[in-house]
Amino acid sequence: MPTKIDIVFLDIGGTLGDRDAITKKLVPYPSSAGLLKALREELKLRIGIITNLSGQLSESQALAMLHDAHLDGFLDPQGFVSDDKAGVAKPNSVFMNLPRLR
């Protein structure tokens, strides 16, 4: 029996865009906003971020970077999971056991 999917998690770098080496801002790929909009509005999926910050950014800095790139409006307010929050870096299996977002 098929499983209903109601949330999808994406990474930031290399998935939604790349970080500019000079400005350190996220430069979203041309397709990122359209993809996020389609996932949310057409497929009715909640969208989360799962990423390794590796001590290079704080969670608030990463969220500000998504805001500055105009991508934060697509995201579920509780859908940001980082290695800082999980206590391990992905792809550790602990990410599979995080509490479900409600």
Domain containing residue 36: CATH number: 3.40.50.1000
pTM above 0.85, yes or no: no
- Would residue 21 count as lying in a domain? yes
- Would residue 100 count as lying in a domain? no
Per-residue model confidence as pLDDT tens for the chain (102 residues)? 667 888 899 999 999 999 998 998 999 999 999 999 999 999 999 999 999 888 888 889 999 999 999 999 999 988 898 888 777 777 766 656 655 554
| Domain count for the chain | 1
Residue range(s) defining the domain that contains residue 20: 7-94
Q: Which residues 6+ apart lie within 8 Å of 19 measured at CB?
A: 13, 25, 26, 27, 65
The structure tokens listed for 56 are: 């290079």
